[in-house]
Every structure is written in C-alpha cells, then in structure tokens.
C-alpha cells in the first residue's frame, strides 16, 4: 500500500482550483455487467446498483462507474479497498470475472470552481462535448487528456474529478494547471 498520493497533496489556484485528491480506493471489476450474479455480488459488497452505460452512481463514501460493457470501477475510501475487493472476489468465485485493487496504480484530481469555467478547463484537454445538455453530474466519460488516457465526472455543478494512471499523474496535473491558468479563459460555457 502506498503512503503518499502521486502528487502528495499538490494544489493550484487558477480559474478553478486543481488539487491532488489524495489516496483513493479504486477497484477494477471485469466481468459481464449484464449478469445477475455479478450485480448481486456488487450490491452486497458496495451497496450500490450497477450503473447504466457511461454513468456513475454514488453512495455515502463510494461510487460505481461504468467503464465498458465488461468493466466497472468501484471507488471507495482507500483503506476499505482491500476488504471490499476480497469480499467481491469471494462472491464471484466460479464466475468468469476478475477483481483487482488498482488504488496504487491510479491518481485522482479534484477540480472546483464556477460551473462554466470548470467545464472549460476539461474541454480544453479532451475531445468531449462538455455542454451542460450533453454532460452533467451522473455522467462518466473515459477519454484522453491531451496525450494520456483519463476519465472524469462531475460530483455537482462546481466540482469535477479526474482520474488517470499514476505513472502519468505529474503530466495530467500540469495539464490541468495550464488549462486553469489565469488569462486563459475562453468563456464558451459562460
């Protein structure tokens, strides 16, 4: 287990706040998301239902994100991830499924600011329609952030979260900071 998150709590104040969200539990589940047995095991381990295509569902301290028709991302407090992963693996024994605690392989950033500017900071980096009609809280999108793979979602209209591989966390953080630099406002989303 890692003791420090990738950027060790770094934060930047620009048109929005960009900060390392700290250690975050992330469990990857591969399996048929349409399987009733898998849905039951996920519900028992997390208390949450499997989200619809490209959606993220939230619980008190956890969330479930749809990654692909056979991949789910389970977000939990960092220290809870090993136990939840073990419980899930146990429940899925005999199924064609794989559970892996990926917490130390990834990094998470939290972006906070006014709704329009927040959308703009992400829109500058990803080929995604970030208009409010096309993407809002509850939506989840895997894409690229400039040259690396990443994913993001909105907790609410003023908070976004971005995840990427830990190996490219420094690059992703610097990208987000540049995108949020004062003077770089476009004003496209108001």
- Cα gap 106→150, rounded to integer Å: 10
Residue 142 interacts with another protein (CB under 8 A): yes or no: yes
**Closest residue by Cα to residue 110 from 52, 173, 58:** 173
Taking CB under 8 A as the criterion, the residue among 93, 94, 127, 183 binding another protein is 127
Q: Closer CB to another protein, residue 11 or residue 149?
A: 149
Residue 53 interacts with another protein (CB under 8 A): yes or no: yes
Instruction: List CB contacts of 48: < 8 A, sequence separation 6 or more.
Output: 42, 57, 58, 59, 62, 63, 64
Q: Closer CB to another protein, residue 135 or residue 173?
A: 135
The stretch near another protein (CB under 8 A) out of 32-40, 68-76, 87-95, 116-124 is 68-76
- Cα gap 80→65, rounded to integer Å: 17
- Cα gap 188→56, rounded to integer Å: 26
Taking CB under 8 A as the criterion, the residue among 4, 149, 181, 186 binding another protein is 149
Per the rule left: phi > 0, alpha: psi between -120 and 50, beta: everything else, 44 is: alpha
Size of the site for another protein (CB under 8 A): 12
Tell me whether strands 106-112 and 56-58 are parallel, antiparallel or unpaired: unpaired
Q: Closer CB to another protein, residue 1 or residue 52?
A: 52
Runs of H (alpha helix) within 92-187: 115-123, 169-179
Residue 144 interacts with another protein (CB under 8 A): yes or no: yes
Taking CB under 8 A as the criterion, the residue among 43, 54, 55, 110 binding another protein is 54
Residue 69 interacts with another protein (CB under 8 A): yes or no: yes
Q: Closer CB to another protein, residue 67 or residue 169?
A: 67
The stretch near another protein (CB under 8 A) out of 110-118, 138-146, 162-170, 177-185 is 138-146
- Cα gap 122→160, rounded to integer Å: 9
Residue 85 interacts with another protein (CB under 8 A): yes or no: no
Residues that bind another protein (CB under 8 A): 53-54, 67-69, 71, 127, 141-144, 149
């Amino acid at each position: 287990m890692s003791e420090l998150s990738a950027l060790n709590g770094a934060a930047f104040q620009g048109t929005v706040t960009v900060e390392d969200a700290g250690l975050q539990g992330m469990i990857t589940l591969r399996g048929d998301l349409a399987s009733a047995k898998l849905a039951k095991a996920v519900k028992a381990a997390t208390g949450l239902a499997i989200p619809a295509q490209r959606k993220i569902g939230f619980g008190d301290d956890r969330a479930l994100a749809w990654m692909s028709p056979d991949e789910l991302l389970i977000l939990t407090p960092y220290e809870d991830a090993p136990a939840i992963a073990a419980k899930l693996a146990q429940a899925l024994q005999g199924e064609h499924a794989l559970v892996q605690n990926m917490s130390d392989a990834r990094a998470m950033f939290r972006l906070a600011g006014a709704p329009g500017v927040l959308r703009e900071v992400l829109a500058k980096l990803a080929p995604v329609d970030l208009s409010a009609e096309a993407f809002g809280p509850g939506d989840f999108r895997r894409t690229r952030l400039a040259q690396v793979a990443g994913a993001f979602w909105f907790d609410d209209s003023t908070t976004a979260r971005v995840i990427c591989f830990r190996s490219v966390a420094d690059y992703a953080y610097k990208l987000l900071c540049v995108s949020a630099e004062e003077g770089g406002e476009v004003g496209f989303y108001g």
